[in-house]
Structure 1
Amino acid sequence: MGNIDKRNRLDEAPFRYAVTKTNTVFIDYEGKQIKVLKGKEAEKFLKRVNAADSEKELQLIMAKITGNFKRGNER
């Protein structure tokens, strides 16, 4: 993961997620909801999250699934 987060933005843990009883996943970025996952997409996300070794890897998974967070313009 060395070159992926060059500015160490993921160390601040800007992403959070919540799972409902119906396995709907809500992903937030700095307190704002930016993505909702349902069905197979949510199941795949939860499998990847459960397999994550560290908080930074978990943050990277959420950054990749939300997309558009690699251009450097998200302030």
Structure 2
Amino acid sequence: MHRDFTYKISKDGRVHISWQGKPVVVLKGNKASKFLSQCEGKTGDDLQLVLCRFTGNFKRGNERQ
């Protein structure tokens, strides 16, 4: 699996998730806490799957590869 998703945590506790360097979603509050707890101890493909899940359905399949 490609490592296209990344995330950063801001000082105010928000989680910014990006795909190929482009911002996709910002999580805050309970959703950010839940995300961080699910990411704990995960690396590589497992972490990418968690990031994928929290971005929702931002790609619908009609984009060219």
> Do the two structures share a fold, i.e. TM-score over 0.5?
yes
Normalised by the length of structure 1, the TM-score is 0.74
Bigger relative contact order (CA 8 A; separation at least 6) = 2
Percent identity (aligned): 42
Letter in 1 for 2:9: V
Letter in 2 for 1:57: D
The answer to whether residue 52 in structure 2 is matched with residue 66 in structure 1 is: no
* Contact 1:25/1:36 (8 A) holds in 2: yes
What does the per-residue CA deviation read over 1:10-44, in whole Å, with 9 as the maximum and x for residues that have no partner? Answer: x2200000001111000000010000000110011
Aligned residues: 64
Mark the runs of 5 or more structure 1 residues left unpaired by the alignment.
1-10
Mark the runs of 5 or more structure 2 residues left unpaired by the alignment.
none
Normalised by the length of structure 2, the TM-score is 0.84
CA-atom RMSD in angstroms: 1.8
Change (3 A) 1:44 1:22: same
